[in-house]
């Protein structure tokens, strides 16, 4: 049944028409008929007295009241991650694909479909969190954020609430000279992982587009539903539209440099929702916060904020502060103004609770170590690309290689060892060509002098001894030379096994296979006990 519906969805988007709120089926297409909430809020906006601020007088008005009022600005930035698949399923996301062609029962929210976390989302979250100087949560979790909107198929969004993956960071930037210059540091409240919703396609004549203009009909495209996002919430520390725009531009540069997102605002890969409030100068309490959406460029961020500051300042200066409502407003590029979209929800409206279908997210120290230095991370990635075992590569880099760099005061780019040779060394140990002990000797020579693993093994005759007959001769020799210790072992001092193993390793010059050695040794030790 689910697969049948899935095929229908690929061929036909959800169609929604402004009549009643009924569900039905026609020609095997699931559709819903309802009124467009945006058209309703726009109608209410028309019915209310409008405050018109001319673009020509906006800057003058801002200058006039800037001495009397203080603006407080915070930004919630959604960054779409450049993963191959969505956050909780294997569907790809290709911008511009035909509607409802990259969907499955999981991202469509069909009953019984269970999410599975894409581990790349965690990797990108850790990278960005560290780049923003945040403290990472070693143990975080996912939550359900409950709300209804036509493009949210499950009726809730998988997000993070009280335990985000990163928090308490900051970002530094320098304002352009033409805007006054100066250094700024803005706090980062939190960075959390979540999934995206779908997209509404609007039409007045049966031809659907992505533009918003009081449509008569609209359809739902779920290609974007389930795409992984990182939401970056700033502290309310910005005071002008220019500061906010430069903050957003710096985030774009950062996510592009890290490779976690393409940051293209025109594609929705980086979206900014700004929160603006105004208060009399000297007042500690914040004013009423207004959120502005639909900002698709940095210039729009700056102009929308400046307009909203001007609108709120005018109301306050006229003694009409009660008309500033906690709401979500939309920036109209053509009219260069903000208009009401909907009343702003509060935390109680979302009814958060822990996501029962996903386990907690646990980070370990090796992840933090590898991600803390981009050069170490690149070295690790290059080693893995050569086929090295992930855990073994992590252990070698975190322990012996890190210790060598610390003692010699070198960066990883300054050591003679290459990712190719580290991968070769790990392969030789796993394959039994050399022992772990010999591997350490080779590693330190490669770190200090360079060379190749195979070349050193041949030059120093380090190939591991795996012939049982040869190892048995060594075991017999050591036991014969240590009769007192052999008697003590057979009297109950079994810890002496380690002593015998060490002596045999000396005889073999460290080349005896440890597993085979211990097997033969135990057989000999317990033969007559």
DSSP codes joined into one string, 430-470: HTTSS-HHHHHHHHHHHHHH---HHHHHHHTT-PPB--HHH
* CA–CA separation, 415 and 163 (whole Å): 39
Domain coordinates in residue numbering, the chain: 2-37+57-346, 367-459, 468-527
DSSP codes joined into one string, 69-121: EEEEEEEEEEEE---SS-SSSS----TTPPTTSS--TTTTT-TT------HHH
* CA–CA separation, 284 and 196 (whole Å): 36
Give the pLDDT confidence score for residue 207 in this predicted structure. 53
Residue whose structure tokens are 């220019």: 242
Q: Where does residue 154 rank: exposed (0-12), middle (13-18), buried (19+ CB within 10 A)? A: buried
CA dihedral of 484, 485, 491, 496, whole degrees rounded to 10: 180
Q: Are 85 and 299 in contact (CB under 8 A)?
A: no
By DSSP bridging, strand 69-80 and strand 270-280 are antiparallel
Give the pLDDT confidence score for residue 258 in this predicted structure. 94
Give the pLDDT confidence score for residue 25 in this predicted structure. 32
* CA–CA separation, 36 and 342 (whole Å): 12
Give the pLDDT confidence score for residue 467 in this predicted structure. 86
**Integer angstrom CA distances of residue 340 from 179, 293, 308, 349, 505:** 30, 10, 12, 19, 79
What is the token pair recorded at 290? 């207004």
By DSSP bridging, strand 327-332 and strand 290-295 are parallel
**Long-range contact pairs involving 445-451 (C-beta distance under 8 Å, separation at least 24):** 446/416, 446/417, 446/421, 446/422, 447/401, 447/404, 447/415, 447/416, 447/417, 448/404, 448/416, 449/416, 450/416, 450/417, 451/416, 451/421
Please identify every stretch of the chain with a pLDDT value under 50, giving residue numbers as ranges: 1-57, 211-215
H-assigned helices in 318-431 = 347-350, 365-372, 374-385, 390-396, 402-408, 419-430
* CA–CA separation, 99 and 219 (whole Å): 9
Strand order in the sheet with 14-17: 22-26, 29-33, 14-17, 217-221, 199-203
* CA–CA separation, 305 and 302 (whole Å): 5
Give the pLDDT confidence score for residue 45 in this predicted structure. 42
pLDDT tens-digit map of 152-205: 999 999 999 999 999 999 999 999 888 888 999 999 999 999 999 999 887 655
Give the pLDDT confidence score for residue 306 in this predicted structure. 94
Please state the separation of Cα 99 from the chain's center in Å. Answer: 26
Q: Are 104 and 90 in contact (CB under 8 A)?
A: yes
State the maximum Cα–Cα separation within the chain, in Å, rounded to a whole number.
104
CATH of domain 468-527: 1.10.10.410
* CA–CA separation, 345 and 347 (whole Å): 7
What is the token pair recorded at 443? 């590693």
**Integer angstrom CA distances of residue 252 from 14, 170, 244, 263:** 33, 15, 13, 5
Q: Of all helices (H) and strands (E), which one includes residue 4?
A: helix 2-11
Q: Are 107 and 86 in contact (CB under 8 A)?
A: yes
């Amino acid at each position: 049944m689910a697969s049948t519906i899935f095929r229908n969805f690929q061929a036909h988007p959800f169609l929604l028409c402004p009549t009643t709120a009924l569900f039905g089926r026609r020609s095997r297409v699931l559709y819903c008929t309802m009124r467009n909430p945006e058209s309703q809020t726009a109608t209410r906006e028309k019915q209310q007295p409008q405050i018109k601020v001319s673009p020509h007088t906006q800057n003058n008005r801002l200058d006039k009241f800037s001495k009397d009022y203080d603006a407080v600005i915070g930004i919630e930035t959604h960054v779409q991650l450049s993963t191959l698949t969505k956050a909780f399923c294997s569907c790809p996301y290709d911008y511009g694909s035909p509607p409802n062609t990259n969907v499955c029962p999981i991202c469509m929210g069909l009953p019984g479909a269970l999410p599975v976390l894409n581990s790349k989302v965690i990797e990108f979250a850790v990278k960005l969190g560290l780049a923003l100087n945040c403290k990472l949560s070693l143990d975080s979790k996912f939550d359900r954020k409950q709300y209804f909107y036509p493009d949210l198929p499950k009726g809730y969004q998988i997000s993070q609430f009280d335990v985000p993956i990163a928090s308490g960071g900051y970002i530094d930037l320098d304002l352009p000279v033409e805007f006054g210059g100066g250094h700024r540091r803005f706090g980062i409240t939190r960075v959390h992982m979540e999934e995206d919703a779908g997209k509404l396609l609007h039409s007045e004549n049966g031809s659907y587009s992505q533009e918003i203009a009081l449509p008569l009909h609209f359809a739902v495209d779920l290609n974007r539903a389930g795409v992984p996002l990182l939401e970056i919430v700033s502290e309310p520390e910005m005071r002008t539209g220019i500061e906010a725009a430069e903050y957003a531009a710096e985030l774009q540069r950062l996510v592009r440099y890290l490779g976690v997102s393409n940051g293209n605002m025109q594609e929705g890969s980086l979206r900014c929702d700004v929160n603006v409030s105004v208060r009399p100068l000297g007042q500690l309490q914040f004013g009423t916060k207004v959120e502005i959406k639909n900002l698709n460029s940095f210039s729009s961020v700056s102009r929308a904020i400046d307009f909203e500051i001007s609108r709120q300042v005018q109301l306050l200066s006229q003694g009409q502060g009660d008309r500033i409502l906690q709401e979500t407003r939309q920036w109209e590029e053509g009219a260069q103004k903000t208009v009401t979209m909907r009343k702003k929800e509060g935390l109680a409206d979302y009814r958060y609770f822990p996501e029962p279908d996903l386990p907690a997210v646990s980070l370990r120290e090796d992840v933090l170590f590898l991600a803390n230095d981009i050069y170490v991370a690149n070295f690790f990635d290059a080693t893995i690309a050569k086929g090295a075992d992930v855990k073994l590569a992590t252990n070698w880099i975190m322990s012996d290689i890190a210790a060598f760099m610390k003692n010699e005061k070198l960066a990883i780019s300054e050591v003679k060892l290459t990712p190719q040779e580290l991968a070769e060394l790990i392969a030789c140990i796993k394959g039994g060509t050399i022992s772990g002990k010999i591997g350490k000797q080779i590693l330190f020579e490669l770190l200090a002098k360079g060379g190749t693993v195979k070349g050193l093994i041949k030059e120093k005759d380090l190939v591991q001894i795996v012939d049982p007959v040869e190892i048995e001769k060594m075991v017999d020799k050591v036991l014969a030379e240590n009769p007192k210790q052999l008697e003590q072992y057979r009297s109950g001092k079994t810890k002496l096994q380690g002593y015998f193993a060490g002596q045999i390793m000396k005889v073999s010059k460290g080349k005896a296979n440890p597993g085979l050695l211990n097997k033969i040794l135990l057989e000999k030790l317990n033969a007559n006990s």
